[in-house]
Amino acid sequence: MHGTKILAEADRLMVVCNSCRYCEGLCAVFPAMEMRRVFPDGDLNYLANLCHGCGACYDDCQFSPPHEFDVDVPRVFAQVRGDSYRAYAWPAALSGLFARNGLAVAIIVALCVAAFVIGFVAFNDPAAVFARGGGPGSFYALMPHNAMVLIFGAAFIYAIVALVLSARNFWRDIGDPTAKGPYPWLKAMHDAFTLHYLDGGGEGCMNDEESRADHRRLYHHFTFYGFLLCFAATCVATLDHYLLAREAPYAWYNLPVILGTLGGIGLVIGPAGLLVEKFRRDPALTDEARLGMDTAFIAMLLLSGLTGLALLVLRDTAAMGMLLAVHLGVVFALFLTLPYGKFVHGLYRFLALVRYAAERRAMAGGHSE
Amino acid sequence: MADLTRKYDVLVVGGGNAALCAAISARRAGASVLVLEAATKFYRGGNTRHTRNMRCAHDAATKELTGPYTEEEFFDDLLRVTGGNTDEPLARHMIHESKAMLGWIAEQGVRFQPSLGGTLSLGRTNSFFLGGGRAMLNALYRTAEALGVAVEYEAEVVELDIADGMFLSATAQRANGERATVRAGALVAACGGFEANIEWMKQYWGAPADNFLIRGTPHNRGTVLKLLLDKGVGEIGDPTQCHAVAIDARAPKYDGGIITRLDCVVFGIVVNKHAQRFYDEGEDVWPKRYAIWGRLVAGQPDQIAYIIFDASSLTMFMPSLFPPIEAQSIGELAGKFSLDPATLEKTVAEFNAAVRPGTFDHTILDDCRTEGITPPKTHWARRIEKPPFYAYPVRPGITFTYLGTRVNKEARMLMKDGRPSANMFAAGEIMAGNVLGRGYAAGIGMTIGSVFGRIAGREAAGNARN
């Protein structure tokens, strides 16, 4: 009846939870569950991706292990989510990258960094690579701007296409005809940008049974907004380049540098904090098999932030050439691996929130709340 | 690990809502407090783990409550459910104190939410714990421990040293097999009833008690209750009575909680193991009907019964843990429970023939009824004719017992001769019979626990310091 054993287990849990409903005030998952009496695989994938893994329901549950009903929604949903990333990946031939994801990402990063280092040395006079940097155009002396745009543009477009097609697979599976008009999308954006449901019902995430704290939400905000700021820095720099004919590197007070610096700081504090929280977390709540995937993506973001900040600080020294190669290699690998790693959680969770907002509106009789 | 060798001001026996409210309130009043909980850390809290709301009087709507619930209305509800079987001054005192309880409980870290799915009828009167009873307990334990209350798990009190109504010490059986005797200036007994003690239940119910399922903690064995009554504490409540509802017969013996309840009696008929109906399934609306069927099933042979309904009702009630048994014909359905197929077919046919036309509405006492059969079904009677057919096997599920220790407004135990105890107090299910002599109203057990727990803790602390 179910595609996998873990989906069958998720179904069993939803039957238990639907006959209890004590957790309905904690997050979106349980109200969404209450709209159903049976749970086909598409709905379970929807509910699992709607779950933010805050852990509050496990802490509150009178039936969690060692009780014989063995209810552990955060862990089982983490496993279902992990499987769903693989099931929806485009192209399906690359879905294997989700297995042993940490190793796969590490190899891709190493290859990308090596390619940029070797490329810099091969295409340039070695002396130029290790010359003191600084001044407008010094990056492009090592790699022509058009080459950079071409390579990164291609990687970026590939990532977008793969992500959109993966998202389409997910949306078709959880398929919801009620998500019409702007309301569900705006509501979902609000819930995603605030991480509304990562608050454990108001008191913060449950890390262990002694304490509650919202550290994970805070660090995720650092990470997410850091990522957005870095992305904005790149966009502004591209406009500067083409519209104003101004060449990087820019002085510290220029907008791309300010955005990139703030973003880089976010991408160091956020991922570092998330890593700490990940290893502090009660193992009962996590899908240990996916630890590699989770840490790989966090490590990639941390590396992007660290190498970017190092490049900013040391761009006037002889280390600039190598740092640029390493930073570009890391960012290139980040783009390539986006559709095949933990990044997709944001996409699917956002779509799950869209469906949830639409369902709630439909239940309320067509009026937005 | 708590220090069991020193003398505490207040010893609290039990680990649920009443016990923790007592511990926190005693500690806040300046006393040193030890809590002895029989269960492991995970199973701490007795039946509080399975609760989800409390009933408190309030004069105005709040963020979570849809309207006012006056003391007078609360008392009227209590009179109605108990049939007057309550100590009026004590009940009025509790209801008055319940007003301050919502705020006090929130100050201890417990969070509330509006009532949502399936419980809208209680949205005005009852305050729901965000995340349910275990979430409430977790908050109380966090607060108690932050205040410096010592808590010892897997420490079941098996002996009390009481001299002339004065508590001296308690002896606890610990997980490692050793016994520890703890001295304290005052005792708060908040360790539940005796519903999980099947041998004790059999004194009143005989062999049928073996077929009872206990909905909550297996630790409510009444050990401390019995010790207290044996040592001269006054008794209250009918010892033979317990709150029993019909729950899924496939539920575990203990601790199945809320999810094995079945509230679909009104949608079909209920037959015993001889495939015969035995009571009007359409007598009354929830919650009254909910509370009578446990006792009714207990009175049937082998304490088993079957709720039979058809496809037209399948999605009209809250889902529960186990799916109903399904069959394409009544005869086939009977075979799945070793009921006699011919008899069940006859019972259903007779019922169907007796159903009169009407307008079905399960939210009111509607006009769908039978004529010419015994027992009748006086409301919600519809023919059972649309396959597939379904059945739930049900047994009596025991929630709590009524026997307890007599107390006064200070939650102080009263001895058999009516004298107040020097230093013994009680709160929660162990003294609920003072207020709730019979029947039940949703959330009132938690009110009794919180209000008398808070009072008991405060009084015990005052007592111990004097």
C-alpha to C-alpha distance for B269 and B277, rounded to whole angstroms? 7
Q: Are B390 and B314 in contact (CB under 8 A)?
A: yes
Nearest CA in chain A to B49: A62
pTM (2 decimals)? 0.94
Q: What is the DSSP letter of A295?
A: H
Strand partners, B277: B271
Residue found under tokens 């929630």: B399
Which top CATH class is B8-239+402-465?
Answer: alpha beta
Residues recorded for chain B: 466
Please state the φ and ψ torsions of residue B415, each to the nearest 5 degrees. -75, 170
Minimal C-alpha gap between B257 and chain A (Å): 8
Q: Report angle CA B125, B129, B135 to the nearest 5 degrees.
A: 160
C-alpha to C-alpha distance for B383 and A104, rounded to whole angstroms? 63
C-alpha to C-alpha distance for B19 and B237, rounded to whole angstroms? 21
C-alpha to C-alpha distance for A93 and A365, rounded to whole angstroms? 43
- Give the residue extent of every domain in chain B: 8-239+402-465, 244-397
* pLDDT of amino acid A368: 40
C-alpha to C-alpha distance for B243 and B398, rounded to whole angstroms? 6
Can you read off the two tokens belonging to residue A245? 């004919």
Tens of pLDDT, residue by residue over A299-328, are 999 999 999 999 999 998 989 999 999 999
Q: Report angle CA A118, A239, A253 to the nearest 5 degrees.
A: 85
Can you read off the two tokens belonging to residue A326? 């390493």
CATH 3.90.700.10 at B244-397, yes or no: yes
Please report which confidence band the pLDDT of residue A367 belongs to, taking 50, 70 and 90 as the band edges: very low
Which residues lie closer than 8 Å to B47 by C-beta, 6 or more apart?
B16, B192, B216, B217, B220, B399, B400, B429, B445
Each residue's pLDDT expressed in tens, for chain B with a length of 466 residues: 899 999 999 999 999 999 999 999 999 999 999 999 999 999 999 999 999 999 999 999 998 999 999 999 999 999 999 999 999 999 999 999 999 999 999 999 999 998 766 666 789 999 999 999 999 999 999 999 999 999 999 999 999 999 999 999 999 999 889 999 999 999 999 999 999 999 999 999 999 999 999 999 999 999 999 999 999 999 999 999 999 999 999 999 999 999 999 989 999 999 999 999 999 999 887 666 667 899 999 999 999 999 999 999 998 888 899 999 999 999 999 999 999 999 999 999 999 999 999 999 988 899 999 999 999 999 999 999 999 999 999 999 999 999 999 999 999 999 999 999 999 999 999 999 999 999 999 999 999 999 999 999 999 999 877 6
Q: Which residues of B touch A16 (CB under 8 A)?
A: 259, 321
Phi/psi class of residue A250: alpha, beta or left (left: φ > 0; alpha: ψ in -120 to 50)?
beta
Tens of pLDDT, residue by residue over A163-218, are 999 999 999 998 766 678 899 999 999 999 999 999 888 877 877 666 677 789 99
Across the interface, of B50, B118, B321, the residue whose CB is closest to A21 is B118
Q: Please state, in angstroms and as integers, the Cα–Cα distance from residue B146 to each residue in A265, B25, B459, following that order.
A: 36, 13, 21
Across the interface, of B116, B129, B319, the residue whose CB is closest to A18 is B319
Strand partners, B420: B414
DSSP line for B389-443: EEEEEEEEEEEEE--EE-B-TT-EEEBTTSPEEEEEEE-GGGGGGGT-SS---TT
Burial label, B315 (beta-carbon count in 10 A; 0-12, 13-18, 19+)? exposed
* pLDDT of amino acid B120: 65
Minimal C-alpha gap between B7 and chain A (Å): 27
Q: Are B344 and B330 in contact (CB under 8 A)?
A: yes
Q: Which residues of A touch B260 (CB under 8 A)?
A: 19
Contact A62 B111 (CB under 8 A): no
Q: Which residue type is seen at A19?
A: S
3-state secondary structure of B166: strand
Across the interface, of B128, B131, B252, the residue whose CB is closest to A56 is B131
* pLDDT of amino acid B117: 61
Interface residue of A15, A19, A26, A70 to substitute, partner B, most B CBs within 10 Å: A19
- pLDDT above 80: residue A70: yes
Please state the φ and ψ torsions of residue B235, each to the nearest 5 degrees. -105, 145
Minimal C-alpha gap between B219 and chain A (Å): 15
